[in-house]
Amino acid sequence: VALVRIIVKQIPYEIFSERSALWLGDCHARAARVLVPSNFSLANASRNLGDPRDPHFSPDGRFIYFITSAAITDGAVHRVDVRTRKEGFVVYGGSDLLIFRTGPYRGDILTRQHSCHKASGCDHPFYVFTREGRQVAWIPHSERRDQPALAGWLHANHIQPK
């Protein structure tokens, strides 16, 4: 079981108002250990680990993907190896995070990513990224938080949402 433990709820005068740590729990042993301690940083947005949240296991159970705050417009997706505790940045994005369990994108990441265009302005369309962070698909017409466009894309690609 992956869980997030909130350490501090409100930090006065700071942009990010919560500190948390990512833990791994073993139900059989009734024990838990910290996988990603809270490590807040504004120096490098992709390295901010002050508020890990929304954990998702990879299909093989070896990694946990999670989101942290990174910028005003986007979070950051990270992953941690549950055995070695080695953590790494994967890609900017993070809202509506999903790890594909089956199908052609098994193990890949579905998330929204902030983008701006001169003609249409800013939006948050869905993209598919490999576990290494390489973009492999863009979900057409998923801008402006259009959930029917995502459902149509998943259906057209024979992917069952969780």
pLDDT of residue 154: 85
Examine the pLDDT at 11 and tell me if it is beyond 70: no
Side chain identity, residue 13: Y
Mean pLDDT score of the chain, rounded to an integer?
Answer: 81
pLDDT of residue 140: 80
pLDDT, tens digit, for every residue of 59-94? 999 999 999 887 767 789 999 999 999 999 999 887
Residue 52 CB partners (closer than 8 Å, separation 6+): 4, 20, 21, 22, 36, 38, 66, 67, 68, 78
pLDDT of residue 102: 86
Contact 58, 74 (CB under 8 A): no
Examine the pLDDT at 8 and tell me if it is beyond 60: no
DSSP alpha helix (H) spans, 6-60: none
How confident is residue 133, by pLDDT bands cut at 50, 70 and 90? very high
